[in-house]
Amino acid sequence: MQLTEDNIYRSSSQFRNWSFTPAKLAAQRQTTNIQASERVKAAFARQRAQRARQPDTASASESERGNGSGIDTGSNTPIPVTNPADVNCLTVAEEMKLVDSFCERTLELGKFLKFPIEVTATAIQFLRRFYLVNSPMTYEPQTISRSTMYLSTKVECHHRPAADYAAMLTKTTPESVIAPEYLIVQGLRFTFDVKHPFRGLKGGHLELMEMARGNAAPTPHNTQTPAELQKAMQALPKKAGEPPSHLSAADLEKRITHAYTLASDTLKSVALLTDAYFLYTPSQIWLAAHLLADEPLTAFYLSTKIPTSSPMYPKLLSRLNACAELLSSHRKFASQGTSEEEKKAREERDKKEVSALMKKLKQCRDPDKLDLVKLNQAQKRDALNADGQLEESKAKRRKMDRDALKKEEGDFWGPELPSRNGEKA
Amino acid sequence: MSTKAGLRAGDGAKDGGASPLSKSLYNLSIQQPSSSSSMSRADTTSDICPVCKSSRYLNPNMQFLLNPECYHKMCESCVDRIFSHGPAPCPIAGCRRTLRKVKFRKITFEDLKVEREVDIRKRVARVLNKQLSDFETLRDYNDYLETAEEVTWNLILGVDVEATNRKLQLWEDSQKAERNPNAVKRSFQADSSTTSDGSHGVVLKKGGTQRKAMASSSGNTPDPSASLDEAFLETGFAFKGLKKYVPPPPEKPFDPYGGWSVKPQLYTLRGDYDVEWLTKVKDDPSHVAGGYDMHEFYSRALCEAFGGLGVFIDEEIPARENQSSGNAVIGTQTAAAAATGAKDVNMDDVF
């Protein structure tokens, strides 16, 4: 009864629940988008019908709507209730764009809060997973992203009390951080484990360094001696297609470390912002990042693991190349080709697009889900009313119970035990 | 005894049935004779203590006890009165056995013969406890059962009691030795206090050493050395067709993984790795003191480096879905069609 590394990965929830083929991923997003649009349209239709019935109170409910969520505070102009057929819902691509931009913001938030990269990375993946089954039209990405960050501090053992966490952010209360938490957890299907490629990259780096020093550990497929491997490694070309080089041992180590640094940067930024986690396994992701950093070295390393003659090798290499392409296609990927101005212009364009989308989102938010805090309060057993007080009848009953208990405490045998059917015997 | 019993009865009367327990007990003892008037004669004899002649009519809380030594019953207060100062002879006329208070117990069956038979059967069953699976054939098992029954009836009817008792003891000891070879072998001594109806005198624990010589000289208790020899002669617990006892294999140490282990395909773990960014952690005494083992990190890092390298999501996930649903590819169109119809399939909503 023996397990391989692949078996272990197959048992993870990331593989079981959160791995998709590209077609399946697109279908899932489509489904979510359609459901959310239907819901928004239905909500608008309901609101319209309600307003048609009582035209006097229309303005009041509108101002209430404006106060509902943090995002609407800036523009308090009453939104005219449009015909439900005219509601301009976000498309799938627009939703994706929004979620991507909020993933970037989360990355920056993590940097700003000085959280470890694992926390930020987990938060981003939670956000991406959550918006696979929910739409930004239903739940506002700003609050959700803050809440996922809080959730991932707990998941990644970097605990922060909600009050402390909220104090670090502007326009955030502990309640607003906690309110969507259960919602997010439901969206995540209660799977908290996110397998990151960071540690895998470290493991690969360890092996490469040992290999460069001439004491590679033997693998079943490899017949070369450690010394031969070291020699072959030193003779690797600097780039694919170039003539072989002859590096000294120290230079080789430098090269490996450089590749590690580059790959690590890729993993910590671009890999998080793409769909790589849904489409590839962590070990494929880190090897793809390494491939981007140093292609000949990675190809050589892979060939020591899997013989180039086996059918597995070209198959795996094609996946790695596809993954590398996905990573390098991202706007943030720092490739040498683009100039500073072009990058800046790209950022500028992106910013404009996102702000336009945010405006559009404001028009098509689901009116039922504007105030998550209030909804969450209503869910709770002892819902507090507007003044932060319990309901009057409940408070009265509590007080009576408490008084009765206090009176009976003086008895020799203590207070009466509560009988099964709730009334006193 | 009578004072005590009287006190108890008085207590009940004084209470006037205040305590529910005493009340129900009282009712129980009152109602019992009246409900079975036809058996009133049998009841009156069974409800009168043969020693002090006090009846349950006067003392509703009376309880009868017996001693498995001679199976004579007497009431609780008689036992208290006679035996509280140490062993004493049985007060029943004609029975001169020495009884001790600790051995008295409550009566389970009305018929004392049944009581005694149950005791004997218990004792025999403790020794002769083989099952059908322990024998090679059904025939052998039946023979064995017959032997057991024979032993039982010998003891019940008092036929050849000495030899039977010795045989039982022998079997018991041989089984004990088989199951637990480390146990110190006792010398085979038929303790007469355990035999129920031997005709010889009683050996008390206190005076056992003094009286043993007398008892053995009278021929009732067999000589220990002689019985030992006999044990070898009779070769202990021997029945035809009885399978040899195989002790169960010793339990293996607990394995939390249930026999599973990880056998990496793509890497071999080395004892140590030397990388610049690890030296700080390695040399940090606060890590070492806490019991942190670098090997854990190495094995985890390498396992994560290659875990899932051979897992091709674009192949395995459709294959898995094919298996589970039989529906190959759910295209965008079909998904869209499904989404417009269905309400909340993928959107769990707490609110």
For residue A239, what pLDDT is reported? Answer: 82
Of B160 and A394, the one with more pLDDT:
B160
Cβ–Cβ of A30/B308 closer than 8 Å?
A: no
**Given a cut of 80, is residue B231 above it in pLDDT?**
no
Same domain flag for B103 and B116: no
CB-nearest to A204 from B270, B305, B329 is B305
| Reported confidence tier of residue B198, pLDDT bands at 50, 70, 90 | very low
Closest-CA distance, A182 to chain B, in angstroms, reads: 8
Q: Is B255 on the interface with A (CB under 8 A)?
A: no
Of B41 and A187, the one with more pLDDT:
A187
| Reported confidence tier of residue B236, pLDDT bands at 50, 70, 90 | low
Average pLDDT over residues B270-298: 87
Cβ–Cβ of A6/B335 closer than 8 Å?
A: no
Kindly list the distances between the CA atom of residue B179 and the CA atoms of B186, B214, B238, B244, in Å, as whole numbers in the listed order. 15, 35, 15, 12
Sequence-distant (≥ 6) Cβ neighbours of residue A120 within 8 angstroms: A106, A107, A109, A110, A111, A149, A152, A272
Cβ–Cβ of A283/B307 closer than 8 Å?
A: yes
Rounded CA-CA distance B32/B29 in Å is 5
Task: Give residue B307's domain range.
Answer: 262-323
Which residue of A lies nearest to B311 if distances are taken between CA atoms? A6
For residue B237, what pLDDT is reported? Answer: 64
How does A11-39 read in b/e, with b if 16+ C-beta sit within 10 Å?
A: ebbbbeebbbbeebebbbbbbbbbbbbeb
B262 neighbourhood in chain A, CB within 8 Å: 2-5, 8
B280 neighbourhood in chain A, CB within 8 Å: none
CB-nearest to B266 from A199, A206, A219 is A219
| Residue B262, helix vs strand vs coil | strand
Closest-CA distance, A401 to chain B, in angstroms, reads: 31
For residue A286, what pLDDT is reported? Answer: 96
B345 neighbourhood in chain A, CB within 8 Å: 31, 35
Residue with tokens 């001594």: B189
Same domain flag for B177 and B244: yes
Token pair for residue B326? 């039989």
Residue-wise pLDDT tens digits, A201-241: 999 999 999 999 888 887 777 778 888 888 888 888 888 77
State the total domains in chain B: 3
Same domain flag for B161 and B78: no
Boundary residue ending a domain (B107, B136, B155): B107
Instruction: For residue B100, give the CATH number of its domain.
Output: 3.30.40.10
**Does residue B347 sit within a domain?**
no
B267 neighbourhood in chain A, CB within 8 Å: 207, 217, 219, 305
Same domain flag for B55 and B134: no
Q: Which of A199-213, B288-302, B334-348 has the lowest mean pLDDT?
A: B334-348
Q: What is the ipTM of this complex?
A: 0.80
**Given a cut of 50, is residue B175 above it in pLDDT?**
yes
* DSSP percent split of chain A into helix, strand, coil, nearest 5: 65, 0, 35
Rounded CA-CA distance A143/A72 in Å is 13
CB-nearest to B318 from A8, A21, A305 is A21
For residue B324, what pLDDT is reported? Answer: 73
Same domain flag for B174 and B245: yes
For residue B28, what pLDDT is reported? Answer: 52
**Does residue B51 sit within a domain?**
yes
Same domain flag for B278 and B319: yes
Q: Which of A386-400, B94-108, B179-193 has the highest mean pLDDT?
A: B94-108
Sequence-distant (≥ 6) Cβ neighbours of residue B105 within 8 angstroms: B65, B66, B67, B68
| Reported confidence tier of residue B203, pLDDT bands at 50, 70, 90 | very low
A180 neighbourhood in chain B, CB within 8 Å: none
Which residue of A lies nearest to B330 if distances are taken between CA atoms? A24
Of A423 and A372, the one with more pLDDT:
A372
Residue with tokens 């009779």: B234
Nearest CA to A424 out of A414, A409, A415, A412 is that of: A415
Token pair for residue B225? 């050395």
How does A198-225 read in b/e, with b if 16+ C-beta sit within 10 Å?
A: bbbbbbbbbbbbbbbebebbebeebeee
A306 neighbourhood in chain B, CB within 8 Å: 266
| Residue B106, helix vs strand vs coil | strand
**Does residue B175 sit within a domain?**
yes
| Reported confidence tier of residue B23, pLDDT bands at 50, 70, 90 | low
Closest-CA distance, B207 to chain A, in angstroms, reads: 53
CB-nearest to A9 from B274, B278, B308 is B308
Boundary residue ending a domain (B195, B216, B251): B251
Cβ–Cβ of B261/A28 closer than 8 Å?
A: no
The pTM for the full model equals: 0.66
Q: Is B298 on the interface with A (CB under 8 A)?
A: yes
Same domain flag for B95 and B133: no
**Given a cut of 70, is residue A60 above it in pLDDT?**
no
Same domain flag for B166 and B247: yes
The percent of residues in chain B predicted with pLDDT above 90, rounded, is: 23
* DSSP percent split of chain B into helix, strand, coil, nearest 5: 50, 5, 45
For residue B302, what pLDDT is reported? Answer: 93
Closest-CA distance, A151 to chain B, in angstroms, reads: 18
Closest-CA distance, A211 to chain B, in angstroms, reads: 11
The percent of residues in chain A predicted with pLDDT above 90, rounded, is: 55
Closest-CA distance, A6 to chain B, in angstroms, reads: 4
For residue A190, what pLDDT is reported? Answer: 93
Average pLDDT over residues A355-382: 84
In sequence order, what are the beta bridge partners of A421?
A: none
Average pLDDT over residues A166-176: 92
CB-nearest to A282 from B264, B308, B314 is B308
Which residue of B lies nearest to A187 if distances are taken between CA atoms? B348
**Does residue B141 sit within a domain?**
yes
Residue-wise pLDDT tens digits, A36-45: 999 999 998 9
| Reported confidence tier of residue B190, pLDDT bands at 50, 70, 90 | very low
**Does residue B55 sit within a domain?**
yes
**Given a cut of 70, is residue B133 above it in pLDDT?**
yes
Q: Is B310 on the interface with A (CB under 8 A)?
A: yes
CB-nearest to B307 from A9, A26, A201 is A9
DSSP A310: S
For residue A388, what pLDDT is reported? Answer: 62
A284 neighbourhood in chain B, CB within 8 Å: 308-309
Residue-wise pLDDT tens digits, A316-361: 999 999 999 999 988 887 655 667 888 888 889 989 999 999 999 9
Between the two ends of chain A, the Cα-to-Cα distance in Å is 61
Average pLDDT over residues B191-202: 43
Cβ–Cβ of A31/B340 closer than 8 Å?
A: no
Same domain flag for B118 and B239: yes
Rounded CA-CA distance B299/B304 in Å is 8
Sequence-distant (≥ 6) Cβ neighbours of residue B40 within 8 angstroms: B33
CB-nearest to A280 from B313, B343, B344 is B313
Which H or E element spans position A2? Answer: strand A2-3
Residue-wise pLDDT tens digits, A385-410: 656 666 778 788 888 888 888 887 77
For residue B284, what pLDDT is reported? Answer: 87
**Does residue B89 sit within a domain?**
yes
**Does residue B345 sit within a domain?**
no
Decide if B189 contacts B224 (C-beta within 8 A): yes
Beta strand extents in A293-365 (DSSP E only): none
| Reported confidence tier of residue B46, pLDDT bands at 50, 70, 90 | low
For residue B200, what pLDDT is reported? Answer: 41
Sequence-distant (≥ 6) Cβ neighbours of residue B300 within 8 angstroms: A199, A203
Same domain flag for B51 and B162: no
**Does residue B199 sit within a domain?**
no
| Residue A170, helix vs strand vs coil | coil
Which H or E element spans position A164? Answer: helix A162-168
Average pLDDT over residues A273-281: 94
Same domain flag for B63 and B152: no
The string of DSSP letters for A101-158 reads HHHHHHHHHHHHHT--HHHHHHHHHHHHHHHHHS-TTTS-HHHHHHHHHHHHHHHTT-
**Given a cut of 90, is residue A157 above it in pLDDT?**
yes
Boundary residue ending a domain (B201, B220, B251): B251
Contacts of A48-53 with CB under 8 Å at 24 or more apart are A48/A81, A48/A83, A48/A84, A51/A81
- Beta strands B98-99; B73-75: pairing state: unpaired
For residue B183, what pLDDT is reported? Answer: 63
For residue A83, what pLDDT is reported? Answer: 66
- Beta strands B261-262; A2-3: pairing state: parallel
Residue-wise pLDDT tens digits, B3-19: 444 434 434 344 444 45
Residue with tokens 């005894």: B1
CB-nearest to B307 from A6, A182, A215 is A6
In sequence order, what are the beta bridge partners of B89?
A: B98
Greatest CA span in chain A, whole angstroms? Answer: 97
Same domain flag for B54 and B96: yes
A274 residue type, one letter: T
Average pLDDT over residues A129-145: 93
